[in-house]
């Protein structure tokens, strides 16, 4: 698959490189694994040689030897000879950048925790010593999101706030997914587009794997995902076990419950069988895997809360792959596909609501977008969008099929919302149904 999107991120990285020719720049690139961070940096700097340091899990002296060879090959200069500590390599480059601009890209930066934790304090010391005179464009990225956040946003860590830019790489938007399908399957249907969004969430690697395999229809995507040699089947474990550590079992139980529709804390605790407040807080704030949702304009911060898995792929993985892993153990792939197809309409209905919410965000036509539901669960509005700049609000009902949209019921629910919240007084109110026909 060819390179798509990332225009703004590439422009930012190139702007930073230009700034680094006068003042040292320290950019952190984060985002969930498989999102395309490394490829993005390479693409941004493809027009000139850059130093690329990959932090593998091996002895520090061996890493330094790799880096020494990279410096000599890319810059064409002799170095200081074999170094045993990364601090010596980094200080050499910081000094060198006083004489000539250098772009240094360090990948899997969080792995220094395993190689030698003192690397971070050494880097802080050297950065503080030379950055006022250096002309280095330092870019670091890592695939364990929680560790990267800790390194730069925990006040106790030596590199806290040393970065000059903190970039987060996001999934492809619905507009980009449409562009990709138009390129590789011009006759795609709304079902194909919804499937690509539902299964991948716009995560670049997953999209690439499907496109490269020619899986551009819902049926072909499912065949590619659920088969013997599919990387999708083990993907949830390979990414999240490293994030969660030894407590991953509890986190997996929580996420599995949420994926099955148990969205309140009490419902999740009934499934897991223990108090989970601390785990939910970590999943939300440290790992950023779940989000806490409340009805729009809710006055109380603790009541009527719902938890969702924000990542579409993880939602799919826990809803189907993890839940039915016993089928995969006996290689019964066809039965799993049958179950996914059986439950797909309900699952994709939830994803369709996410899709349209994302589309509305892309349009930048509203100042506030959310959902609303009452405490009894009797009245629920899929999307409420407000534009406070011109006193307008729109209530949306989302269904897979347009024929199932009940506009009278939507207006009744909106009336309940207006009475309960007291909001949107004097506003121009409109109502709209959204279905797969509107994708």
Model confidence over 64-115: pLDDT tens digits? 999 999 999 999 888 777 889 999 999 999 999 999 999 999 999 999 999 9
pLDDT band at 118 (very low <50, low <70, confident <90, very high): very high
pLDDT in tens, 139-177: 999 988 778 888 998 899 999 889 999 999 999 999 999
Burial zone of 284 (CB within 10 Å; 0-12 exposed, 13-18 middle, 19+ buried):
middle
> What are the residue boundaries of the structural domains of the chain, listed by start?
7-168, 246-330, 365-438
Q: Which CATH number fits domain 365-438: 3.40.640.10, 3.40.1350.10, 3.90.1170.50, 3.40.190.10?
A: 3.40.1350.10
**pLDDT value for 92:** 95
Mean pLDDT of the chain: 94
Averaged over 199-221, what is the pLDDT?
Answer: 97
What would the mean pLDDT of 329-339 be, rounded to a whole number? 97
The domain defined by 7-168 carries CATH number 3.40.50.300: yes
Residue 417 vs residues 13, 296, 373, 420: alpha-carbon distances, Å: 44, 9, 8, 5
pLDDT tens readout for residues 403-418: 999 999 999 999 999 9
Residues in the chain: 439
CA-closest candidate to residue 134, choices 78, 91, 86: 91
CB atoms under 10 Å from CB of 137, counted, come to 25
State the pTM of this model.
Answer: 0.91
Q: What is the pLDDT of residue 34?
A: 92
Cα atoms in the 13 Å half-sphere on the side-chain side of 301:
0
| Most distant CA atoms of the chain, gap in Å | 77
pLDDT at 426 over 80: yes
Beta-carbon contacts of 195 under 8 Å, excluding residues fewer than 6 positions away, are 217, 218, 221, 222, 348
Distance CA 3, CA 50 (A): 20
C-alpha 25/C-alpha 104 separation (Å) is 10
Structurally, at CATH architecture level, domain 246-330 sits in Orthogonal Bundle (1.10)
SS3 140: strand
């Amino acid at each position: 698959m060819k390179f798509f999107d990332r225009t703004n991120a590439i422009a930012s990285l190139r702007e930073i490189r230009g700034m680094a020719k006068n003042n040292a720049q320290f950019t952190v690139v984060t985002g969930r694994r498989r999102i395309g961070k490394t490829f993005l940096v390479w693409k941004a700097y493809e027009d000139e040689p850059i130093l690329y340091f990959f932090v593998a899990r091996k002895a520090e002296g061996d890493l330094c030897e790799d880096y020494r060879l990279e410096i000599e090959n890319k810059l064409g200069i002799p170095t200081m000879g074999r170094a045993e500590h990364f601090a010596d390599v980094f200080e050499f480059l910081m000094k060198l950048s006083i004489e000539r601009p250098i772009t240094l890209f360090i990948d899997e930066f969080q792995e220094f925790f395993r190689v030698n934790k003192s690397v971070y304090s050494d880097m802080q010391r050297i950065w503080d010593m030379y950055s006022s005179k250096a002309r280095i464009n330092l870019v670091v990225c890592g695939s364990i999101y929680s560790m990267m956040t800790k390194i730069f946003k925990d006040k106790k860590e030596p590199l806290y706030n040393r970065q000059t830019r903190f970039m987060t790489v996001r999934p492809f938007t619905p507009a980009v997914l449409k562009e990709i399908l138009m390129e590789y399957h011009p006759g795609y249907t709304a079902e194909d587009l919804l499937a690509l969004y539902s299964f991948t969430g716009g995560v670049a690697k997953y999209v690439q794997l499907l496109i490269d395999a020619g899986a551009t229809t819902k049926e072909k995507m499912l065949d590619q995902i659920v088969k013997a040699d599919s990387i999708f089947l083990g993907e949830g474990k390979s990414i999240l076990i490293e994030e969660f550590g030894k407590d991953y079992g509890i986190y997996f139980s929580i996420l599995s419950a949420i994926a099955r529709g148990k969205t309140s804390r009490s419902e999740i605790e009934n499934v897991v069988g223990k108090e989970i407040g601390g785990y939910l807080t970590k999943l939300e704030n440290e790992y950023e895997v779940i989000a806490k949702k409340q009805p729009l304009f809710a006055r109380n911060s603790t009541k009527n809360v719902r938890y969702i898995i924000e990542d579409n792929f993880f939602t799919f993985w826990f809803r189907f792959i993890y839940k039915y892993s016993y089928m995969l153990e006996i290689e019964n792939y066809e039965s799993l596909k049958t179950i996914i197809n059986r439950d797909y309409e309900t699952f994709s209905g939830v994803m369709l609501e996410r899709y349209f919410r994302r589309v509305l965000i892309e349009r930048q036509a509203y100042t506030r977008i959310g959902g609303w539901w009452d405490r009894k669960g009797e009245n629920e509005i899929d999307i409420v969008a407000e534009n406070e700049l011109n006193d307008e609000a729109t209530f949306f009902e989302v269904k897979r099929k347009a024929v199932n949209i009940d506009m009278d019921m939507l207006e009744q629910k909106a009336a309940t919302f207006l009475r309960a919240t007291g909001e949107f007084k004097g506003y121009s109110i409109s109502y709209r149904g959204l279905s797969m026909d509107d994708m």
